[in-house]
Structure 1
C-alpha cells in the first residue's frame, strides 16, 4: 500500500501523464472492438444454427464469469497486475482470432463458440478487475476521479459510434472478419499495457502465508455472511441476467424478425448509445428536481414498456426509438 502511495506522488500531472493516456487509449480501441463483436457473434450463431436459444446459451455462458469475481479480486491482489492484464489481452486476442478464422473457412462449431465465449468472459472479468485496481497506480490521487470519468466516457463514446462502424464493416465483409478485427483491438491493448511502468504491488501483510484458495474461500464466505452485500450481489446478478437476455434477443430480433441488415442493426444500436450518453448527462440534473425513488420508478416503468414495444415492433424507426428509450432509462 505504501508503494501505491509513492507511485501516486511521483506520477506527472494528468495533462502530461503519457502512461495513463496509453492505458485509456488501449481501452478505447478495445471498447470499439467489443461493439463489433456484439453484432458479429449473434449473426454468426444465427447463420450456423438459426436458433435464438443457442445465442442465449452463448451469452449466458459468457456472463457466468461474473460469479468468479472473488477469484479475480484475489488474483489482482496477489499477482502482478501488469502480467495479468497482458495475459488477458493476449488470451482474448487468440480466442477471438481463432473463432473468426474458423468461421471464415466454415469450420466454426457451436461447442467451440460456447467454449470461446466462456474463456472470453473469464478473461474479461479478470481484466476489468485488474484495470480498475491499476489506474490508481498511474495517476496522482487528485486525478483519479478524472481518469475514471474519462475511461467511462470513452466507453459511452464507443457504444455510440462502434455499432454503426461495426455494422458497416460486417455488411461489407464476413462476420468472422468482425471477430478478427475485435481480436486485433486486444492485441493493440496488449502493446499499450506492455509499454506501461506498472510495478508489482506489495502483498498485504494479512494475506501473507495464505494460499490463493484460502483467499477465494474467505471472499465467498464474506459475501454470504454479509446480508447487505449478498442482497446487492444477487440484485446485480439478476440485473446482469436480465440485461444480457435483452441484449441477446435484441440483435436476434433485429435480424430474424425485423430482417434488418448488419448496417441497419448498427444504426439502431448507435442511436441507443447516443441516448445512453444523454441519460448519463441528464441524471445529475434530474436529481435536483426529483427524488431517487421517483427517478428509479419512472425509469423502470418506461424501460420495461420500451422493451415490450420493442418486441412488438419491426419498423426501423420504431425499433431505434424504443431502444433509445430503453438505453436512456438504463443510465438514469
Structure 2
C-alpha cells in the first residue's frame, strides 16, 4: 500500500469515540508527512518516529549479535563442554517463561517508550559488567550464567515493549511492511554482528565484543529520546495485573489463528538451529574456529537479508498462511542437508538458504500474529510469542547439548529437521484456517473477550 493510501485509510477509520493508542500514533505519523519510497515496502521509513526506531535498533541489534556470538565462544572456551554450553540456555530461558507475560501486561499498561528506556539502560550495565570480568581475568563460567539470567529478565520486559511499540509508529495500512523492515534489521544485525565478533575475538580480545555491545545500546536510547510521540489519553480504570494477564490468555485462546502460530513457533524454537548448535558445528564438525563460526552465522544472516529484500519487493503477500507454510517446509529441508554436510563452503551455501527460509517464514508468522491481535492486547499477545520463540529457543540449547552428547551434532540437527518437517506437514494438511489466512488487517481480528487494559 502506498503512503498516500495509508494516510487515506487511516483518515477514513477515524471515529469520534476515544482513539486507540495505535490510531493516535498513526495520526502523529501522518502529520509528519510521508515520503514516497520505491519500492512501496520501504514506505514506513518515511515516518520520522519509525525511521529513528529502525536505525537505532539496527545498531543495537548488531551489538547484541556481537555479544551473543562472543558469549557462546567464551563459555565453550571456559568449559569445553557441549552440555555446559547448552545449559546456558536454561538461564536465558527461565526468566522469559517467568516474567514475559507480566512484561507484556506491563507494556499494555504503561508508556512503552519509557519502558524501553529503562530496559535498554539496564542492558548497558550488564554488558559492561561481563566485559569487566573478562578483561580483568576474573571471569568463570558461572558468571556467564548469571549475566544471561539478568539479560533474560530484562528481555522479558523489553521484547514485548518493542514488539508492541513499533506497529504504533506507522499507519495500520503499512503494518506488514513495517514488520518486514523490523525483521530485516534483525537479520542485518545477524549478518554483520557475528562476523565483527569473530574478528574482535581473533584480533583484539574476547572482552572487546562486550564493550562494543554496551556502546551500541546508546543508538536506540538516543532514538527513543528523539521521537516525538504525543501523550495518550488514559483509558480509564484498569484491572489488576493478574486480571489483565488472564484476560490476555483468554483472548488468545478465543482466536482461530493465534494458537496455531504459537504451536509452530514453539516447534521451531525447540528443534531449529541455534547458537550452541552452530558453535559445535564450527569447532568440532567443520573445524573452522571462531572466525568460521562468525562466517556460518553471517551466512544465515545474508540469506535472511535476501529474504527480507524479496518481501520488500513483493509488498503485501495475500496468501500469508500458504506462504508461511511453504517457507517452513524449505527451512526443514535445508536444515537436514546442513546436518550431513562436511564441506565448509557447502555449509555456508546451505545456511544461506536456511536463513532465507527462516526470515520469510518468521516474517509471515509475525505478520499473521500482529494482524490477528487487537491493539489493546498487543503487548500480551507478543509476550506469548516471545515466550515460545525467545524463551524456547534459549531452552533449546539444552536439547542441543543433550542430543549432541547422545547422537553427535549431525544427529541433533537431523532430529530437529524431521520434527519441524513433521509439524509443517500436519499444519499444511489439517490447519485449514491457518493455511487459508489472507486477512490484511482488522477483518480477522478475534472478538474482544476480556478486559483489554492498556490502550
Could you tell me the TM-score, scaled by structure 2's length?
Answer: 0.63
Of residues 105-114 and 21-30 in structure 1, the stretch that sits farther from structure 2 once superposed is 105-114
Alpha-carbon distance in 2 for matches of 1:77, 1:230: 20
After TM superposition, the structure 1 = structure 2 runs for residues 270-285 of structure 1, keeping only pairs within 5 Å, are: 270-280=298-308
Q: How do residues 104-119 of structure 1 correspond to structure 2 at under 5 angstroms?
A: 104-119=135-150
Task: Work out the CA distance in 1 between the residues paired with 2:19 and 2:269.
Answer: 36
Inter-CA distance 227–122: structure 2 relative to 1 (3 Å threshold): farther
Given the alignment, which residue of 259, 262, 269 partners 1:240?
269
Q: CA deviation at 1:90?
A: 0.7
Q: Deviations over 1:214-263 (max 9, x none)?
A: 2223334555677864454344223212236x432211321344332322
- The offset of 1:51, in angstroms, is 1.3
Distance in structure 2 (CA, Å) of the matches to 1:169 and 1:293: 36
Matching of residue 10 in structure 1 with residue 40 in structure 2? no
Counterparts of 1:170 and 1:161, CA distance in 2: 14
Determine which of 182, 207, 217 is the counterpart of 2:246.
Answer: 217
Residue 125 (structure 2) aligns with: 94
CA distance in 1, matches of 2:178, 2:263: 29
Determine if contact 2:105/2:245 at 8 Å carries over to the other structure.
Answer: yes
The answer to which of 98-107 and 278-287 deviates more is 278-287
Which stretch shifts more, 275-284 or 184-193? 275-284
Alpha-carbon offset, residue 294 of structure 1: 8.1
Counterpart residue number, 1:249: 277
> What corresponds to 2:152 in structure 1?
121
**1:2-59 per-position Cα deviation (integer Å, ceiling 9, x unaligned):** 2633442233123464332221111000111122123201111012111121221212
Q: Kindly provide the CA deviation profile for residues 279-313 of structure 1, in whole angstroms up to 9, marking residues without a partner as x.
A: 4455769999xx65983574155134224214xx2
Output the CA distance in 1 between the equivalents of 2:276 and 2:47: 38
State how far apart, in whole Å, the 2-side matches of 1:197 and 1:162 are.
30
- Mark the runs of 5 or more structure 2 residues left unpaired by the alignment: 1-17, 36-45, 362-455
In the alignment, the residues of structure 1 paired with residue 84 and residue 48 of structure 2 have an alpha-carbon distance, to the nearest angstrom, of 43
Q: Which string of whole-angstrom CA distances, capped at 9 and with x for unpartnered residues, describes residues 162-188 of structure 1?
A: 322232222212222112211211132
Equivalent residues of 1:36, 1:182 under 8 A apart = yes
CA distance in structure 1 between the aligned counterparts of 2:119 and 2:71, rounded to whole angstroms: 20
Instruction: Say if 2:72 and 2:275, in contact at 8 Å, map to a contact too.
Output: no
8 Å CA contact retained: 1:7, 1:137: yes
Q: 1:164 to 1:304 in 2, by over 3 A?
A: closer
Q: How is 1:74-223 mapped onto 2 (pairs within 5 angstroms)?
A: 74-199=105-230, 201-205=232-236, 208-220=237-249, 223=252
